[in-house]
Amino acid sequence: MNSVIEKPWGSFKILQSGKKFLVKKIYVKPGGVLSLQSHIHRSEHWIVAEGEAEVTIDNQVTNLKENDNIFIPKGAIHRMANRKDDDLVIIEMWYGDNLDEKDIKRYEDIYERI
């Protein structure tokens, strides 16, 4: 559970999991952009621990600074980006009845993942 998973935009590490929740530490490198996506089985909570995040939820863009947080409802189309020159660290909590990395529908992805 404590291994770091590398992604083209940075990496993540699972910190804790339970029956209906999972907590991750997400590192987004400068210029990193996660895919525009949605989930059927989970909602998400994001807290900015370090840096600044550009968050898009259903076409609304919000800029978050350290200690800001945001809720992503189940089914919302969303993405996170690091538009700054400094690292971005997010604490993410999933909540739902099926906590699987495969619960993802991608709409856009600059890294061309399907």
pLDDT tens digits, residue range 4-37?
999 999 999 999 999 999 999 999 999 999 999 9
How remote is the C-alpha of 18 from its chain's centroid? 18
**Is residue 113 assigned to a domain?**
no
Q: What is the pTM of this model?
A: 0.93
3-state SS, residue 82:
coil
Q: CATH number for the domain including 68?
A: 2.60.120.10
pLDDT digits (tens, 9 = 90+) for 53-102: 999 999 999 999 999 999 999 999 999 999 999 999 999 999 999 999 99
Of residues 112 and 26, the one with the higher pLDDT is 26
114 lies in some domain: no
| Spatial distance between the Cα atoms of 34 and 104, rounded to a whole number of angstroms | 12
User: Total domain count for the chain?
Assistant: 1
In a 13 Å sphere around the CA of 68, the CA atoms on its Cβ side amount to 12
Full DSSP string of 21-76:
EEEEEEEE-TT-BPPEEE-SSEEEEEEEEES-EEEEETTEEEEE-TT-EEEE-TT-
Give residue 16's domain range. 4-108
